[in-house]
Amino acid sequence: MPATLPVPVSAAVLRWARQESGYSLERAAEKLHVKAERLTGWEEGGLQPTLKQVENLARLYHRPLSLFFQPKPPSLPPLAAEYRRLPGIVPGHESPELRFAVRKMSARRETMLQLLVELDESTPVFDLIAHLSETPATVAARLRAALAVSAEAQEAWSNEWQAWAAWRTAVEHVGVLVFQFVKVPLAEARGLSLLRTPLPVAAVNPKENPESRSFTLIHEVVHLMLAAGKDEFPAARESRDNEAWAAVERFAEETASHTLVPEAVLKRAVSSGDFPRNGWDIGDVRALARQFKITPLAMATRLRASGYFDWSHYLSWKRGWDAYVATLKPKTGGFAHPVTMTLGRAGRPFTQTVLEALATNRITVVNAAHYLELKAEHFEKLKGALQARPGSGGADE
């Protein structure tokens, strides 16, 4: 069929695909380089797109071409039934970029579960729970013990990239898939979690600095623990108002800060460093944060939680910190090898499982390349990267 001739497609499917992908009519038309009136005509059935235009629709909405020739849209659960509630995000009104990221990570998780069955391997069990009735310090102690990260090991990390790799590996070892999602602005989501079992997902936006990623990751794990304890539910089922939800977020923040910096370790660092040197100004907090490879803001949160300064001082400090950050030039990213990008996005457990399935002929090379979003020519290098120590092979890990 010539690509320039109109083809019979379902108007209902066209409309569903756009709405499910999170695009407004105007933005979709702009991306497709057609007038909004023409797209409206396709979705109402008065006009028919050409085959080339249907291919463009499939590419924009990240849907298989065959879908548009079905008589009616598929029945899918709401996307917000997958992820935890995110500040500022109204369920059902996520950006196209965030919707695609959630769909992709959900599909990756499902692939992992299917491959584990094919390989006759057991599915990791995430059995950590938390309740809002507990103190953040209590939950943090339980989480830190499960992650098995010692104060000595943390002190020995030479830089923030090693810290990020170590925390990520520790989280993966307790039965959580750790992914990174791309093309989503930090202002929309720094991290998110898929509250599914088994194999829940904690995900981090790679636009974050490495020292920020560690805090975001642990923050998301706390949400997974609350979900396991039935104190939190996916966004589609959350009924708490904004004030109640803010309390949940504060709990996750304080628990994450206690996990990264236990009380006894903090007390020792403050004492040995003779803090505060200048009344807990930005310089003091930055110096202490560097010891733990976390952000100054995370350290300020931690210091406030332990009473080293009160809310008034914290809010004043944060205003000064925000003003300082506003003067900094944004960092520009360098080139990352496709192998490094794959490990960063998909993580070691998922990548290793796909390669094992390929080696045992459970899947084809084409399948593996699709799952990993990596050309087969890079597979040997990927195998070598998996054998290297986490954190030694690239920044995006």
Gap between the Cα atoms of 35 and 28, Å rounded: 10
How far, in Å, are 15, 32, 171 from residue 38 at the CA level?
13, 11, 49
Q: Would you list the domain boundaries of the chain? A: 11-76, 78-260, 268-330, 338-387
pLDDT digits (tens, 9 = 90+) for 98-154: 999 999 999 999 999 999 999 999 999 999 999 999 999 999 999 999 999 999 999
Q: Kindly tell me if the per-residue pLDDT of 70 is higher than 60.
A: yes
Residue 325: band (very low, low, confident or very high) from pLDDT cuts 50, 70, 90? confident
Binned at pLDDT 50, 70 and 90, residue 332 comes out as: low
Average pLDDT over residues 228-250: 96
Q: What is the DSSP letter of 67?
A: G
Q: Concatenated DSSP letters for 10-55? A: -HHHHHHHHHHHT--HHHHHHHHTS-HHHHHHHHHTSS--BHHHHH
Is 296 a residue whose pLDDT tops 80?
yes
- The span from the CA of 117 to the CA of 199, in Å, is 13
**What is the Cα Rg of the chain in Å?**
23
Amino acid (1-letter code) at residue 333: G
- Say yes or no: domain 11-76 is CATH 3.40.190.10: no
Predicted pLDDT at 13: 96
Residue type, 7: V
Residue spans of alpha helices (H) in 203-295: 210-228, 242-260, 263-272, 282-292
Quick one: pLDDT band at residue 336, thresholds 50, 70, 90?
confident
H runs (alpha helix) in the chain: 11-21, 25-32, 36-44, 51-61, 96-118, 136-147, 151-156, 160-173, 210-228, 242-260, 263-272, 282-292, 296-305, 311-326, 338-359, 365-372, 379-387
Whether 50 shows a pLDDT value over 70: the answer reads yes
Q: Is the pLDDT of residue 397 over 60?
A: no
Rounded distance between C-alpha atoms, residue 80 and residue 98, angstroms: 11
Give the CA distances from residue 329 to residues 267, 281, 326, in Å, rounded to whole numbers and listed in that order.
Answer: 34, 22, 8
Phi, psi of 204 (to 5 degrees): -130, 140
Separation CA 279–CA 281 (nearest Å): 6
CA distance 312 to 293: 25
Structure pTM? 0.92
CA dist 395 and 387 (Å) reads 16
The pLDDT of residue 333 is 56
pLDDT at residue 250, as a whole number = 94
